Protein backbone atom coordinates (compact mmCIF):
# COMPACT_ATOMS: atom_id res chain seq x y z
CA UNK A 1 0.00 0.00 0.00
CA UNK A 2 1.10 3.53 -0.79
CA UNK A 3 -0.23 6.66 0.86
CA UNK A 4 0.45 10.36 0.54
CA UNK A 5 -0.72 12.19 3.64
CA UNK A 6 -1.51 15.84 3.18
CA UNK A 7 -2.59 18.63 5.51
CA UNK A 8 -3.76 21.96 4.10
CA UNK A 9 -4.08 24.75 6.69
CA UNK A 10 -6.48 27.49 5.60
CA UNK A 11 -6.92 30.81 7.35
CA UNK A 12 -9.85 33.20 6.81
CA UNK A 13 -10.15 36.78 7.98
CA UNK A 14 -13.13 39.11 7.68
CA UNK A 15 -14.57 42.05 9.58
CA UNK A 16 -18.04 42.78 10.87
CA UNK A 17 -18.38 46.53 10.67
CA UNK A 18 -21.02 48.77 12.27
CA UNK A 19 -22.01 52.05 10.62
CA UNK A 20 -24.96 54.28 9.67
CA UNK A 21 -25.77 55.66 6.22
CA UNK A 22 -23.51 53.27 4.32
CA UNK A 23 -24.24 54.79 0.90
CA UNK A 24 -24.07 58.45 1.88
CA UNK A 25 -21.30 59.90 -0.25
CA UNK A 26 -19.54 61.24 2.85
CA UNK A 27 -19.26 57.68 4.17
CA UNK A 28 -16.17 56.20 2.53
CA UNK A 29 -16.44 52.80 4.20
CA UNK A 30 -17.79 50.75 1.28
CA UNK A 31 -15.36 52.28 -1.25
CA UNK A 32 -12.42 51.79 1.09
CA UNK A 33 -13.43 48.17 1.63
CA UNK A 34 -13.37 47.48 -2.13
CA UNK A 35 -10.09 49.32 -2.54
CA UNK A 36 -8.45 47.41 0.32
CA UNK A 37 -8.28 44.24 -1.79
CA UNK A 38 -8.08 45.67 -5.30
CA UNK A 39 -6.43 49.11 -5.26
CA UNK A 40 -5.03 48.76 -8.76
CA UNK A 41 -8.32 48.56 -10.66
CA UNK A 42 -12.01 49.43 -10.24
CA UNK A 43 -13.64 46.06 -9.60
CA UNK A 44 -17.15 45.14 -10.69
CA UNK A 45 -19.90 45.01 -8.05
CA UNK A 46 -23.28 43.34 -8.56
CA UNK A 47 -25.98 44.18 -6.01
CA UNK A 48 -28.64 41.70 -4.92
CA UNK A 49 -31.54 43.31 -3.08
CA UNK A 50 -34.22 41.93 -0.79
CA UNK A 51 -37.58 42.81 -2.38
CA UNK A 52 -39.31 43.61 0.90
CA UNK A 53 -36.44 45.81 2.07
CA UNK A 54 -36.33 47.56 -1.32
CA UNK A 55 -40.01 48.46 -1.08
CA UNK A 56 -39.27 50.29 2.17
CA UNK A 57 -36.18 51.98 0.72
CA UNK A 58 -37.22 52.82 -2.87
CA UNK A 59 -34.39 55.34 -3.34
CA UNK A 60 -31.70 52.91 -2.24
CA UNK A 61 -30.38 51.92 -5.66
CA UNK A 62 -30.40 55.53 -6.86
CA UNK A 63 -28.28 56.32 -3.80
CA UNK A 64 -25.97 53.43 -4.68
CA UNK A 65 -25.65 54.75 -8.25
CA UNK A 66 -24.75 58.19 -6.95
CA UNK A 67 -22.26 56.63 -4.56
CA UNK A 68 -20.71 54.62 -7.42
CA UNK A 69 -20.36 57.77 -9.54
CA UNK A 70 -18.67 59.50 -6.61
CA UNK A 71 -16.19 56.62 -6.18
CA UNK A 72 -15.91 55.55 -9.83
CA UNK A 73 -12.16 55.08 -9.55
CA UNK A 74 -12.75 52.39 -6.89
CA UNK A 75 -15.53 50.18 -8.23
CA UNK A 76 -17.71 49.69 -11.30
CA UNK A 77 -21.39 49.21 -10.59
CA UNK A 78 -23.40 46.65 -12.55
CA UNK A 79 -26.24 48.92 -13.62
CA UNK A 80 -29.16 46.61 -12.86
CA UNK A 81 -29.56 44.96 -9.47
CA UNK A 82 -31.09 41.54 -8.89
CA UNK A 83 -34.20 41.77 -6.69
CA UNK A 84 -35.45 38.58 -5.03
CA UNK A 85 -38.19 37.93 -2.46
CA UNK A 86 -37.34 38.06 1.21
CA UNK A 87 -38.03 35.39 3.79
CA UNK A 88 -38.14 31.67 3.11
CA UNK A 89 -39.57 32.29 -0.37
CA UNK A 90 -36.00 33.12 -1.39
CA UNK A 91 -34.61 29.86 -0.05
CA UNK A 92 -37.43 27.63 -1.26
CA UNK A 93 -37.04 28.46 -4.96
CA UNK A 94 -33.89 27.37 -6.82
CA UNK A 95 -34.70 29.82 -9.64
CA UNK A 96 -33.43 32.72 -7.51
CA UNK A 97 -30.00 31.11 -7.34
CA UNK A 98 -30.13 30.59 -11.11
CA UNK A 99 -31.03 34.26 -11.59
CA UNK A 100 -27.99 35.42 -9.62
CA UNK A 101 -25.75 32.93 -11.48
CA UNK A 102 -27.08 34.25 -14.79
CA UNK A 103 -26.39 37.86 -13.80
CA UNK A 104 -22.86 36.99 -12.67
CA UNK A 105 -22.19 35.31 -15.99
CA UNK A 106 -23.71 38.05 -18.16
CA UNK A 107 -21.87 40.81 -16.27
CA UNK A 108 -18.55 38.99 -16.62
CA UNK A 109 -17.81 38.93 -12.90
CA UNK A 110 -14.66 37.08 -11.89
CA UNK A 111 -13.24 35.85 -8.60
CA UNK A 112 -11.96 39.34 -7.80
CA UNK A 113 -15.37 40.93 -8.37
CA UNK A 114 -18.03 41.38 -5.70
CA UNK A 115 -21.61 40.41 -5.03
CA UNK A 116 -23.03 42.86 -2.48
CA UNK A 117 -26.16 41.46 -0.84
CA UNK A 118 -28.56 43.79 0.96
CA UNK A 119 -31.39 42.13 2.83
CA UNK A 120 -32.52 39.70 5.47
CA UNK A 121 -30.88 36.41 6.33
CA UNK A 122 -32.77 34.33 3.77
CA UNK A 123 -31.74 36.58 0.86
CA UNK A 124 -28.16 36.68 2.14
CA UNK A 125 -28.17 32.87 2.39
CA UNK A 126 -29.56 32.47 -1.14
CA UNK A 127 -27.41 35.03 -2.94
CA UNK A 128 -24.40 33.99 -0.86
CA UNK A 129 -24.88 30.40 -2.05
CA UNK A 130 -24.99 31.63 -5.65
CA UNK A 131 -21.83 33.72 -5.16
CA UNK A 132 -20.04 30.84 -3.45
CA UNK A 133 -20.77 28.45 -6.33
CA UNK A 134 -19.99 30.79 -9.26
CA UNK A 135 -16.35 30.42 -10.29
CA UNK A 136 -16.02 28.36 -7.06
CA UNK A 137 -16.40 31.56 -5.08
CA UNK A 138 -16.90 35.25 -5.80
CA UNK A 139 -16.31 37.73 -3.00
CA UNK A 140 -19.56 38.36 -1.14
CA UNK A 141 -20.21 41.46 0.93
CA UNK A 142 -23.13 40.94 3.27
CA UNK A 143 -25.20 43.98 4.23
CA UNK A 144 -27.88 42.58 6.55
CA UNK A 145 -31.02 44.63 7.12
CA UNK A 146 -32.84 42.75 9.90
CA UNK A 147 -32.01 42.20 13.54
CA UNK A 148 -31.79 38.44 12.99
CA UNK A 149 -29.37 38.88 10.10
CA UNK A 150 -27.22 41.53 11.80
CA UNK A 151 -26.70 39.62 15.03
CA UNK A 152 -26.72 36.03 13.76
CA UNK A 153 -27.49 34.84 10.23
CA UNK A 154 -25.13 37.10 8.30
CA UNK A 155 -22.08 37.15 10.57
CA UNK A 156 -21.07 33.50 10.13
CA UNK A 157 -19.60 31.40 7.33
CA UNK A 158 -22.63 29.51 5.98
CA UNK A 159 -24.72 29.92 2.84
CA UNK A 160 -27.64 27.75 1.83
CA UNK A 161 -31.09 27.12 0.41
CA UNK A 162 -33.88 24.68 1.22
CA UNK A 163 -34.56 21.56 -0.86
CA UNK A 164 -36.59 18.35 -0.57
CA UNK A 165 -38.62 19.99 2.19
CA UNK A 166 -35.51 20.30 4.37
CA UNK A 167 -33.94 23.44 5.78
CA UNK A 168 -30.54 24.34 4.26
CA UNK A 169 -30.20 21.01 2.43
CA UNK A 170 -28.00 22.68 -0.21
CA UNK A 171 -25.24 25.01 0.89
CA UNK A 172 -21.61 25.90 1.37
CA UNK A 173 -19.21 27.06 4.03
CA UNK A 174 -17.53 30.17 2.68
CA UNK A 175 -16.74 33.22 4.81
CA UNK A 176 -17.88 36.57 3.42
CA UNK A 177 -15.43 39.21 2.30
CA UNK A 178 -16.99 41.46 4.94
CA UNK A 179 -20.22 42.09 6.84
CA UNK A 180 -21.55 45.63 7.18
CA UNK A 181 -24.30 46.37 9.69
CA UNK A 182 -26.06 49.66 8.92
CA UNK A 183 -28.44 50.48 11.77
CA UNK A 184 -30.51 52.76 9.52
CA UNK A 185 -32.09 49.75 7.80
CA UNK A 186 -33.67 48.57 11.05
CA UNK A 187 -35.96 51.60 11.31
CA UNK A 188 -38.38 50.28 8.67
CA UNK A 189 -38.74 46.72 10.03
CA UNK A 190 -42.21 45.61 11.00
CA UNK A 191 -42.65 44.53 14.61
CA UNK A 192 -42.34 40.81 13.92
CA UNK A 193 -39.02 41.22 12.13
CA UNK A 194 -37.76 43.67 14.77
CA UNK A 195 -38.56 41.16 17.49
CA UNK A 196 -37.52 38.01 15.64
CA UNK A 197 -33.77 38.44 15.97
CA UNK A 198 -33.96 38.86 19.73
CA UNK A 199 -34.50 35.11 20.12
CA UNK A 200 -31.04 34.37 18.73
CA UNK A 201 -29.51 36.78 21.24
CA UNK A 202 -31.35 35.08 24.11
CA UNK A 203 -30.03 31.77 22.76
CA UNK A 204 -26.42 32.95 22.81
CA UNK A 205 -26.82 34.45 26.27
CA UNK A 206 -28.31 31.24 27.69
CA UNK A 207 -25.40 29.22 26.35
CA UNK A 208 -22.50 31.56 26.92
CA UNK A 209 -23.07 34.48 29.27
CA UNK A 210 -25.44 34.86 32.23
CA UNK A 211 -24.67 38.58 32.42
CA UNK A 212 -25.82 39.09 28.82
CA UNK A 213 -29.00 37.20 29.63
CA UNK A 214 -29.60 39.55 32.58
CA UNK A 215 -29.22 42.51 30.21
CA UNK A 216 -31.92 41.10 27.91
CA UNK A 217 -34.10 40.18 30.88
CA UNK A 218 -33.92 43.75 32.20
CA UNK A 219 -34.49 45.31 28.79
CA UNK A 220 -37.13 42.95 27.38
CA UNK A 221 -39.96 45.48 27.28
CA UNK A 222 -37.66 48.23 26.01
CA UNK A 223 -36.54 45.97 23.17
CA UNK A 224 -40.13 45.13 22.28
CA UNK A 225 -40.91 48.86 22.29
CA UNK A 226 -38.12 49.46 19.74
CA UNK A 227 -35.55 51.11 21.97
CA UNK A 228 -32.72 51.73 19.49
CA UNK A 229 -29.92 51.99 22.05
CA UNK A 230 -30.87 48.68 23.69
CA UNK A 231 -31.12 47.00 20.28
CA UNK A 232 -27.73 48.31 19.14
CA UNK A 233 -26.14 46.85 22.27
CA UNK A 234 -27.94 43.52 21.82
CA UNK A 235 -26.86 43.20 18.18
CA UNK A 236 -23.23 44.06 18.88
CA UNK A 237 -22.86 41.68 21.83
CA UNK A 238 -24.70 38.83 20.09
CA UNK A 239 -22.55 39.18 16.95
CA UNK A 240 -19.44 39.27 19.13
CA UNK A 241 -20.36 35.96 20.80
CA UNK A 242 -21.15 34.34 17.45
CA UNK A 243 -17.85 35.38 15.93
CA UNK A 244 -15.92 34.19 18.96
CA UNK A 245 -17.61 30.80 18.71
CA UNK A 246 -16.90 30.47 14.99
CA UNK A 247 -13.24 31.44 15.42
CA UNK A 248 -12.47 29.57 18.63
CA UNK A 249 -14.76 26.55 18.90
CA UNK A 250 -12.37 24.35 16.92
CA UNK A 251 -15.05 23.36 14.38
CA UNK A 252 -15.95 26.42 12.25
CA UNK A 253 -17.07 24.30 9.29
CA UNK A 254 -19.05 21.84 11.43
CA UNK A 255 -17.14 18.67 10.60
CA UNK A 256 -18.31 17.04 13.83
CA UNK A 257 -21.79 16.23 15.15
CA UNK A 258 -21.94 19.12 17.60
CA UNK A 259 -23.49 22.48 16.82
CA UNK A 260 -24.09 24.35 20.08
CA UNK A 261 -25.42 27.52 18.47
CA UNK A 262 -28.34 25.53 17.08
CA UNK A 263 -29.86 25.36 20.56
CA UNK A 264 -33.63 25.03 20.08
CA UNK A 265 -33.28 24.65 16.32
CA UNK A 266 -34.14 20.97 15.88
CA UNK A 267 -37.79 21.76 16.60
CA UNK A 268 -37.64 25.31 15.22
CA UNK A 269 -36.76 24.12 11.73
CA UNK A 270 -39.56 21.57 11.87
CA UNK A 271 -42.05 24.17 13.13
CA UNK A 272 -41.23 26.39 10.17
CA UNK A 273 -42.13 23.51 7.85
CA UNK A 274 -45.25 22.50 9.79
CA UNK A 275 -46.60 26.07 9.74
CA UNK A 276 -45.79 26.39 6.03
CA UNK A 277 -43.28 29.07 7.04
CA UNK A 278 -45.98 31.25 8.59
CA UNK A 279 -43.72 31.26 11.63
CA UNK A 280 -40.62 33.33 10.99
CA UNK A 281 -37.29 31.77 11.84
CA UNK A 282 -36.71 33.80 14.99
CA UNK A 283 -40.25 33.14 16.20
CA UNK A 284 -39.79 29.39 15.68
CA UNK A 285 -36.42 29.53 17.45
CA UNK A 286 -38.04 31.23 20.45
CA UNK A 287 -40.56 28.38 20.76
CA UNK A 288 -37.86 25.76 20.16
CA UNK A 289 -35.67 27.20 22.89
CA UNK A 290 -38.60 27.38 25.31
CA UNK A 291 -39.37 23.72 24.57
CA UNK A 292 -35.79 22.62 25.26
CA UNK A 293 -35.58 24.83 28.35
CA UNK A 294 -38.79 23.24 29.68
CA UNK A 295 -37.41 19.77 28.96
CA UNK A 296 -34.20 20.77 30.77
CA UNK A 297 -36.28 21.84 33.79
CA UNK A 298 -38.34 18.63 33.83
CA UNK A 299 -35.12 16.62 33.51
CA UNK A 300 -33.72 18.33 36.62
CA UNK A 301 -30.98 20.25 34.84
CA UNK A 302 -32.19 23.76 35.73
CA UNK A 303 -34.25 25.14 38.61
CA UNK A 304 -37.86 26.26 38.47
CA UNK A 305 -36.70 29.84 39.02
CA UNK A 306 -34.35 29.68 36.05
CA UNK A 307 -37.08 28.14 33.90
CA UNK A 308 -39.56 30.87 34.83
CA UNK A 309 -37.03 33.66 34.29
CA UNK A 310 -36.29 32.42 30.78
CA UNK A 311 -39.91 32.02 29.72
CA UNK A 312 -40.89 35.38 31.21
CA UNK A 313 -38.03 37.04 29.33
CA UNK A 314 -39.30 35.63 26.04
CA UNK A 315 -42.80 36.88 26.87
CA UNK A 316 -41.56 40.36 27.83
CA UNK A 317 -39.88 40.53 24.41
CA UNK A 318 -43.25 39.77 22.80
CA UNK A 319 -42.83 36.12 21.77
CA UNK A 320 -45.35 33.28 21.68
CA UNK A 321 -44.18 30.26 23.66
CA UNK A 322 -46.41 27.63 22.08
CA UNK A 323 -48.21 26.82 18.82
CA UNK A 324 -50.60 23.91 18.09
CA UNK A 325 -48.17 22.31 15.63
CA UNK A 326 -46.05 21.22 18.63
CA UNK A 327 -48.71 18.64 19.49
CA UNK A 328 -49.51 17.37 16.01
CA UNK A 329 -48.81 13.62 15.90
CA UNK A 330 -46.63 13.95 19.00
CA UNK A 331 -47.65 10.41 19.93
CA UNK A 332 -46.16 9.14 16.66
CA UNK A 333 -42.53 10.36 16.43
CA UNK A 334 -42.00 8.44 13.19
CA UNK A 335 -44.69 10.48 11.42
CA UNK A 336 -43.38 13.01 8.91
CA UNK A 337 -45.60 15.75 10.34
CA UNK A 338 -44.66 15.09 13.96
CA UNK A 339 -42.43 17.65 15.65
CA UNK A 340 -40.19 14.75 16.69
CA UNK A 341 -39.33 13.89 13.09
CA UNK A 342 -37.26 17.07 13.34
CA UNK A 343 -34.80 15.18 15.54
CA UNK A 344 -33.86 12.76 12.76
CA UNK A 345 -33.73 15.56 10.18
CA UNK A 346 -31.43 17.47 12.53
CA UNK A 347 -29.19 14.43 13.05
CA UNK A 348 -29.06 13.80 9.32
CA UNK A 349 -28.16 17.43 8.61
CA UNK A 350 -25.29 17.34 11.11
CA UNK A 351 -24.17 13.81 10.35
CA UNK A 352 -23.04 11.26 12.92
CA UNK A 353 -24.93 10.74 16.15
CA UNK A 354 -27.81 12.87 17.34
CA UNK A 355 -26.43 15.81 19.33
CA UNK A 356 -28.72 18.45 20.76
CA UNK A 357 -28.10 21.19 23.27
CA UNK A 358 -29.98 21.47 26.55
CA UNK A 359 -29.43 23.91 29.41
CA UNK A 360 -27.42 23.11 32.53
CA UNK A 361 -27.75 26.63 33.94
CA UNK A 362 -28.31 30.12 32.60
CA UNK A 363 -25.08 30.75 30.73
CA UNK A 364 -24.12 27.06 30.39
CA UNK A 365 -25.27 24.49 27.86
CA UNK A 366 -25.13 20.71 27.98
CA UNK A 367 -25.03 18.37 24.99
CA UNK A 368 -27.04 15.14 24.99
CA UNK A 369 -27.29 12.32 22.47
CA UNK A 370 -30.58 10.72 23.51
CA UNK A 371 -33.98 12.16 24.39
CA UNK A 372 -37.04 10.95 26.26
CA UNK A 373 -40.11 11.38 24.04
CA UNK A 374 -42.51 11.08 26.97
CA UNK A 375 -40.67 13.85 28.84
CA UNK A 376 -40.77 16.01 25.70
CA UNK A 377 -44.53 15.44 25.42
CA UNK A 378 -44.82 16.54 29.04
CA UNK A 379 -42.72 19.60 28.20
CA UNK A 380 -45.08 20.48 25.33
CA UNK A 381 -48.08 20.27 27.67
CA UNK A 382 -46.34 22.30 30.36
CA UNK A 383 -45.34 24.97 27.85
CA UNK A 384 -48.93 25.16 26.61
CA UNK A 385 -50.26 25.48 30.16
CA UNK A 386 -47.70 28.14 31.08
CA UNK A 387 -48.45 30.17 27.94
CA UNK A 388 -52.18 30.07 28.70
CA UNK A 389 -51.53 31.08 32.30
CA UNK A 390 -49.42 34.09 31.26
CA UNK A 391 -51.98 35.15 28.67
CA UNK A 392 -54.73 35.01 31.30
CA UNK A 393 -52.68 37.11 33.70
CA UNK A 394 -51.98 39.73 31.04
CA UNK A 395 -55.62 39.91 29.89
Kind and range of the H or E run holding 31: helix 29-37
Find, among 179, 161, 186, 181, the residue nearest to 171 by Cα: 161
How many Cβ atoms sit within 10 Å of the Cβ of residue 64? 20
Domains annotated for the chain, with CATH where assigned, are 15-188 (3.40.50.1970), 191-394 (1.20.1090.10)
Q: What is the full per-residue pLDDT of the chain (395 aa) written as tens digits?
A: 999 999 888 888 999 999 999 999 999 999 999 999 877 777 999 999 999 999 999 999 999 999 999 999 999 999 999 999 998 899 999 999 999 999 999 999 999 999 999 999 999 999 999 999 999 999 999 999 999 999 998 999 999 999 998 888 999 999 999 999 999 999 999 999 999 999 999 999 999 999 999 999 999 999 999 999 999 999 999 999 999 988 887 667 666 555 777 899 999 999 999 999 999 999 999 999 999 999 999 999 999 999 999 999 999 999 999 999 999 888 998 899 999 998 988 888 777 788 899 999 999 999 999 999 999 999 999 999 999 887 777 76
DSSP assignment of 260-301 equals GGGTTHHHHHHHHHHTTT-S-HHHHHHHHHHHHHHHHHHTTS
Pairing of strands 43-50, 75-77: parallel
CB distance 146 to 186 below 8 Å: yes
Q: How far apart are CA 164 and CA 106, in angstroms?
A: 29
Amino acid sequence: MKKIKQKVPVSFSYDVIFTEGLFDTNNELFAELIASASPEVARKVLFVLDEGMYEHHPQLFENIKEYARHFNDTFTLIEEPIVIPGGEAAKNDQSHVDEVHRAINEAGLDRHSYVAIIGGGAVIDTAGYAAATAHRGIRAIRIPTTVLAQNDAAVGVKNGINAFGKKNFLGTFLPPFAVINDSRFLSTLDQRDWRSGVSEAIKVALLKDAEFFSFIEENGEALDQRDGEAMDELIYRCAEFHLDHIANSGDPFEMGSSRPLDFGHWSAHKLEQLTDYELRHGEAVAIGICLDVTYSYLDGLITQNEWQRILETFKSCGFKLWVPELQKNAEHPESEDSIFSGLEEFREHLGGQLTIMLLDAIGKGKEVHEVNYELYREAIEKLKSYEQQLETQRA
